């Protein structure tokens, strides 16, 4: 037993030494160069500015008929229906972070090819936000995504943003405790070439010292995974037989409408009306069920499940209201778009409070700070992806920083923490080390 403990101590010590050596080699880049926030891309709501006439109804409706969103997005991208793909990604709540990033990278690439660099830039903005904020990604996936966002921004002509994304990948290469030595070296090599491609020779040169340090180190410490706080932000299905029947009726009505559209015909008024009636009936059943569940329980887990079900439905309803299916379906919802958006915002706020209650109820008090940090990352990401309307930018940024500061003060085994700079109502998230946490973003 003691032998195993000694071995673990030496492994941890070796990992610490490796990170200190790499960090020492990155001092010049860390303190010497700054990306200017004023030059960076301003945030735009991914669900905003839908061009309904460019959405292909026959594809956009498929998920409403029960088709997998991933497959539908892939078909839309392969057929060049870029606005359709963008809308499905924006309104999806079922895509994993990795799936969403992968589709957004493809979408951004296609938009550049279609000579729409501004739209492409905002697709890569989402990739960057997921890479920084998502607590569920491995640091390998996080670094790959940041490199993809940087290359995409570079190709779209947004060089300041490209530098920001590459700098974040550099920070992972130097400070992440979860990367193997070979992964660090490969990432630094990619970064050196990326900086050279941008003509930033100072940053390219700053990659050389950490690479030389890695070449001299013979130890190969394994990736260290910190303890999970034991908090599961599940999205369990909440349903009743009556709700299931309404869902099936909606799917069948959607399929009938898709058949009209797939044949190249104008959709018949009868089939549009049938789908509208099915949506109204589903709305009545689901709203009644979920509101009843919320009224009957104070248990945080059950409230979170009911709120997620309600958010999922309100999201579909909001997509209908703003023309996100490329065809007018329920006319009265279109006139209530602002009210639906407000209801969605309120339910996200309720969900946040339910999650916070789940955190305080955790049996192991030592995990509270880490769990709170996880929740606040998730909610900030929901805001950045446009899922949480009317997102309180400054308030949630402050809450995220409060949670991170507690981990920093407690000397958490984590090396990097999500930080945020809010200026003129705009926010930029970035990874920061404990010694400079809460300061303005610097090149790592």
Q: What is the pLDDT of residues 156-169, one digit of tens each?
A: 999 999 999 999 99
pLDDT tens figures, 269-292: 999 999 999 999 999 999 999 999
Q: Is 222 left (phi over 0), alpha (psi -120 to 50) or beta?
A: beta
Instruction: Read off the tokens for 146.
Output: 């940041």
Are 2-216 and 241-436 equal in CATH topology? no
For residue range 287-329, list pLDDT tens digits in order. 999 999 999 999 999 999 999 999 999 999 999 999 999 999 9
Name the CATH topology of 241-436: Delta-Endotoxin; domain 1 (1.20.190)
75-119 residue pLDDT tens = 999 999 999 999 999 999 999 999 999 999 999 999 999 999 999
Task: Decide: 41 and 161 in contact? Cβ < 8 Å.
Answer: yes
- pLDDT given at position 364: 86
pLDDT for the residue numbered 215: 78
Would you list the domain boundaries of the chain? Answer: 2-216, 241-436
Q: How confident is the model at residue 228 (pLDDT cuts 50, 70, 90)?
A: low
Measured CA angle at 346 (ends 234, 51), to 5 deg: 90
pLDDT of residue 34: 42
Q: What is the DSSP string of 149-208?
A: HHHHHHHHT-HHHHHHHHHHHHHHHHH-TTS-HHHHHHHHHHHHHHHHHTT-HHHHHHTH
Residue 222: pLDDT band by 50, 70, 90 thresholds? very low
- CB contact at 8 A, 29 and 206: yes
pLDDT of 265 > 60? The answer is yes
pLDDT at 127: 98
Q: How far apart are CA 163 and CA 203, in angstroms?
A: 9
Pick among 3.90.660, 1.10.260, 1.25.40, 1.10.30: CATH of 2-216: 1.25.40
Q: Where does the pLDDT of residue 226 fall: very low under 50, low under 70, confident under 90, or very high at 90 and above?
A: low
pLDDT for position 201: 95
Report how far apart, in Å, the C-alpha atoms of 420 and of each of 119, 293, 404, 438 are: 24, 36, 11, 8
């Amino acid at each position: 037993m003691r032998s195993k403990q000694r071995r673990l101590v030496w492994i941890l010590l070796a990992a610490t030494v490796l990170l200190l050596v790499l960090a020492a080699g990155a001092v010049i880049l860390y303190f010497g160069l700054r990306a200017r926030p004023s030059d960076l891309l301003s945030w735009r709501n991914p669900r905003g500015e839908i061009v309904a006439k460019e959405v292909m109804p026959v594809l956009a409706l498929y998920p409403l008929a029960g088709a997998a969103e991933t497959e539908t997005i892939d078909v839309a991208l392969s057929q060049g229906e870029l606005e359709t793909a963008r809308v499905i990604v924006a309104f999806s709540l079922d895509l994993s972070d990795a799936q969403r990033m992968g589709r957004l990278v493809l979408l951004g690439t296609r938009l550049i090819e279609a000579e729409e660099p501004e739209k492409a830039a905002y697709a890569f903005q989402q990739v960057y936000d997921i890479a920084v904020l998502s607590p569920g990604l491995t640091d390998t996936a996080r670094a790959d995504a940041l490199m993809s966002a940087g290359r995409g921004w570079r190709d779209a002509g947004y060089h300041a943003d490209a530098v920001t994304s590459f700098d974040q990948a550099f920070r992972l290469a130097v400070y992440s405790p979860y990367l193997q030595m070979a992964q660090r070296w490969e990432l630094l090599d990619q970064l050196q070439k990326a900086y050279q491609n941008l003509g930033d020779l100072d940053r390219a040169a700053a990659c050389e010292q950490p690479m030389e340090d890695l070449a001299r180190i013979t130890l190969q410490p394994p990736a260290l995974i910190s303890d999970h706080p034991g908090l599961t932000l599940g999205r369990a299905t909440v349903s009743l037989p009556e709700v299931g029947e309404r869902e099936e009726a909606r799917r069948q009505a959607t399929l009938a409408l898709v058949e009209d559209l797939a044949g190249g015909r104008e959709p018949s008024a009868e089939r549009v009306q049938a789908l509208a009636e099915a949506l109204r009936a589903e709305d009545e059943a689901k709203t009644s069920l979920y509101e009843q569940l919320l009224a009957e329980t104070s248990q945080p887990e059950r409230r979170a499940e009911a709120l997620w079900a309600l958010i999922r439905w309100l999201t579909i309803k909001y997509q209908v209201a703003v023309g996100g299916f490329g065809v007018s379906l329920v006319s009265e919802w279109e006139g209530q778009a602002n009210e639906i958006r407000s209801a969605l915002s309120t339910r996200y706020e309720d969900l946040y409070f339910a999650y916070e209650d789940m955190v305080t109820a955790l049996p192991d008090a030592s995990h509270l700070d880490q769990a709170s940090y996880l929740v606040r990352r998730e909610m900030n990401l929901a805001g950045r992806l446009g899922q949480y309307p009317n997102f309180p930018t400054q308030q949630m940024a402050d809450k995220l920083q409060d949670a991170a500061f507690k981990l920093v003060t407690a000397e958490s085994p984590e090396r990097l923490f999500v930080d945020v700079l809010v200026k003129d109502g705009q926010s930029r998230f970035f990874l920061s080390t404990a010694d400079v946490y809460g300061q303005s973003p610097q090149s790592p």
